[in-house]
Amino acid sequence: MSSTETGAATTAAGATVTGADGDVAANGAVGDVVTDAADGGGETVRVRMDVSYDGTDFHGWAAQKGGLRTVQGVLEEKLTLVCRTPIELTVAGRTDAGVHADGQVCHADIPAEAFTQRSLARPEDLVRRLSRMLPEDIRLNAAVAAPEGFDARFSALRRHYVYRVCTAPGGPLPRRVRDTARWRRPVDLEKVQVAADALVGLNNFAAYCKAREGATTVRELQEFTWKDVSTPSEPQTYEAHVVADAFCWSMVRSIVGACLTVGEGKRPETFTAELLEMDERSSQVPVAPAEGLNLVGVDYPAPEELAARAAETRAVREL
């Protein structure tokens, strides 16, 4: 997976518009699916937004009480100002504090009347409007009216992460310390890859996840590939490319940390596979530092398959 991969689904040209009375009309003012507002107060447009951010100075994606700075909190605040109505976001992947994203995807149901402003006539105008308001560590890359059935979280086919780590004695380059984790012991990359290969497939990752009540820890890890990206100025620097249909809380950093402990010789090569037999979080699994992790892309199916995918994702899986 390259860092340029993002979701495949964008707009649905010529989609129908559903009014407050449920009738099907011709194309709407913004040319895509319009649905009833949740409170029955009017029509809304579901807008897909592609976002990038440097997570260093954020307490994660999710809005939190107490005034903590979060990506969701900042975005919703600025969107509310621009749209002149409270906006709530649904996201593809809720990143933790310090974790970055080049390819985050979220959606919001925005009242259609918000797009009657001279400077905000269509969803695409949100990019220009927010570019003047957002801080330097967040960027709105794209905003489009979403196809019918699109849900940033539940319609996703897979998420792509890259983890970057340096094991050199001097640590990463000063200009890369915000996106490259430091691991203070050298590792054997072949052993790291053996440990990673043992995790690929449909498994119960309970040992690698922080528990959430009522949530399953069964996930399909589709790719876990390590690469040596060292250069003369960045020796002993590696990247892990991690792809799954979905991830549990702290799962990526936990499987990375487990593989690195194998690579440094602290654990046997069978360590990661043995942990798959556990049904609860293991204290033996170190969580790799947040700064090395980057959500680089989210894939979605074709527009006509979005609703079915969302229904499939909502179903709780078991082995």
Q: Which residues are identified as catalytic?
A: 96
Non-local (6+) Cβ contacts of 61 within 8 A are 70, 71, 72, 91, 93, 94, 95, 96, 104
Q: Which residues pair with 242 in a beta bridge?
A: 161, 224
CA distances from 194 to 87, 190, 258, 316 (A): 45, 6, 12, 30
Distance CA 122, CA 94 (A): 27
Phi, psi torsion values for 62, nearest 5 degrees: -70, 135
Q: Give residue 202's identity as a one-letter amino acid code.
A: L
- Which DSSP string corresponds to 163-194? EEEE-STT-S-GGGTTT-EE-SS---HHHHHH
User: What's the CA angle centered on 161, arms 157 and 166, to 5 degrees?
Assistant: 165
17 touches 26 (CB < 8 A): yes
Two structure tokens written together for 260: 């690195």
Is position 161 annotated in a ligand binding site? yes
**Binding residue numbers for substrate:** 161
